[in-house]
Amino acid sequence: MTWEAVVGLEVHVQLLTRTKMFCGCSSRFGDPPNTNVCPVCLGLPGALPAPNEQAVRLAVRAALALGCTVHARSIFARKNYFYPDLPKGYQISQFEEPLATGGALEIVSPERGPLTVRIKRLHLEEDAGKSFHDRVPGKTAVDFNRSGVPLVEIVSEPDLRSPAEARAYLTALKQVLKYVEVSDCNMEEGSLRVDANLSIRPAGSSELRTRTEVKNMNSFSGVERALTAERARQIAATERGEKIEQRTMLFDAGSGEVRPMRSKEESHDYRYFPEPDIPPLVLSEAWRAKEAQALPELPAAKRERFERSFGLAAAESAVVTATAAIADYFEGFAAKLGANAGKEAWNWVANDLLSLSPDGETIPLPADLAAEVVELVRSAKVSRQAAKRVLAELGAAPADTALAVAQRLGLLQVSDTGAIEGWVWQTLDAHGAEVARYKSGETKLMGFLVGQVMKRSAGQADPKVVNAALQKALKD
């Protein structure tokens, strides 16, 4: 039997606010433990939460960017459980009546091509603190700096069919959220966290079988590996005739295996109920419309526009729209290269300039400098090959002009016909025998003669000019 996986993802994303969700403490990552805390985020007796307007705005931006319906009225709810890093004994989240529902994300599946993944809901919540079990021997240390940092949880419908598709979804989601500047989506710093639900079924069937939840994944590739392991485990168990139990599996990145969480740890009844300390969140039609209008062009729209305006193929367009910064760069650069230079600009960006990026997010070399280099190639002052070295050098020290760098590196081509003709006549004089053989029909000696001229020019002659001059001289 052929099996297919059915996967849905729950993604937690930290919002790029200056302060926390319900108090004025800084939400900065990496500060000394327990320095960004106050009565509210420590859950001291009598403290009350007051929602952060900027967090609401960013959550709404995320929801709109994902095509969700943002509701005029949503309510906060308490999710109750005991844990040392959860200061109030409950997390303020949303449950019934979330901020937004019913969105969609376009992804490119490695197996099925372009497809739409439905977003079930997006809601606001606060983060918990962080427990450290390895800092003090025999004790647990708790840092509450993260306590109360605003998050959105984005829940997909079970529309994904493989671990690779799950990864493609995450890549696309991260791209959209970064485009709208809602989150930096940094999995290492924990600003993006993923839990996955997976079940299997006979390929092509439409049933939904018992699913498991997979947790503890620290990278997109980890998600793919974890889901591959869990899919294999479920297939093997099912083929042995075992039943899949609904439970939580933990991924071990070291061994690449998944193991079940102790059932004691997962038997939570969160006793959700509406948060009585916060009135319903009411967002006017006008406010929501204003936020929708303030959205930048999203990746899918940008890709399509680039295909149309610059004559790019879909895959090419995707490369230069990877981030908003790269897309802006590409557009500015293409404009500098002149009308109808889209494809030429793409070649430079994709083949030369992106390799200068330390993180794949931005291109460090200013576009006008890069355009100078293109101009040197166009005017045959440097070769296409040499241009790569000029770009690299400029990337490291963008203070120079392109011409100065080419000069310093000795990469300028000589295309002065007078100088080249001199080298040509010297060559023909020195190689009389080869010239005679060439003239009697051995035309393949042309390559040898060009090489000799280049040698006399110490490699700086423009090969095209050399060729033309040689042809002319040999005819005479």
Partner 1 sequence: MTDFRAAAKGAAARIAACEGKGTHAFLAWSEAALLEQADALAASPAAAAGALAGEVVAVKDVIADATFTTTCGSKILEGWRSPFEATAVRRLREAGAIVAGKTACDEFAMGSSTEWCAYGPARNPVEPSRVPGGSSGGSAAAVAAGAVTMALGSETGGSVRQPAAFCGVVGIKPTYGRVSRYGLVGFGSSLDQIGTFGKDVASAARLLAAISGRDDRDGTTLDRIPLGEPGPAAASLAGTVIGVPREYFPEGLHAGVHEATRRALERMKELGAEVRGVSLPHTKYAVPTYYIVAPAEASSNLARYDGVRYGPRDGGVADVRAMFRSTRGRGFGPEVRRRILLGTYVLSAGYYDAYYRKAQRVRELIRADFARVFGAGVHALFTPTTPTPAFKFGENVADPLAMYLSDIFVCTANLAWVPALSLPIGRDAGLPIGGQLIGPMEGEGTIIRVAQALEQALDAAAEVR
Residues found near partner 1 in the complex (CB under 8 A): 39, 42-51, 78, 80, 82, 84, 87-90, 140, 142, 269, 271-273, 276-279
Instruction: Report the amino acid identity of residue 60.
Output: V
Of 46 and 441, which CB lies nearer to partner 1 in the complex structure? 46
Q: How far is the CB of 54 from partner 1 (least distance, A)?
A: 15
Give the integer Cα–Cα distance in Å for 24 and 38: 8
- φ, ψ dihedrals at 259, nearest 5°: -135, 150
Q: How far is the CB of 142 from partner 1 (least distance, A)?
A: 7
Q: Which helix (H) or strand (E) holds 424?
A: helix 417-430
Give the integer Cα–Cα distance in Å for 450 and 218: 57
Neighbours of 112 (CB within 10 A): 14
Of 73 and 464, which CB lies nearer to partner 1 in the complex structure? 73
b/e code 16-36 from CB counts within 10 Å (16+ = b): bbebbbbbebebeeeeebeeb
Of 39 and 338, which CB lies nearer to partner 1 in the complex structure? 39
The two structure tokens encoding residue 212: 């498991």
> Are 80 and 271 contacting, i.e. CB atoms less than 8 angstroms apart?
yes
Of 50 and 295, which CB lies nearer to partner 1 in the complex structure? 50
Of 125 and 165, which CB lies nearer to partner 1 in the complex structure? 125
Q: How far is the CB of 23 from partner 1 (least distance, A)?
A: 9
Strand order in the sheet with 90-93: 90-93, 77-80, 273-274
Q: How far is the CB of 45 from partner 1 (least distance, A)?
A: 4
Q: How far is the CB of 42 from partner 1 (least distance, A)?
A: 6
Of 47 and 235, which CB lies nearer to partner 1 in the complex structure? 47
Q: How far is the CB of 37 from partner 1 (least distance, A)?
A: 10
Q: What angle do CA 20, 26, 31 make, to 5 degrees?
A: 125
Of 38 and 474, which CB lies nearer to partner 1 in the complex structure? 38
Alpha-carbon Rg for the chain, nearest whole angstrom, is 31
Q: How far is the CB of 127 from partner 1 (least distance, A)?
A: 17
Q: What angle do CA 304, 305, 310 make, to 5 degrees?
A: 110
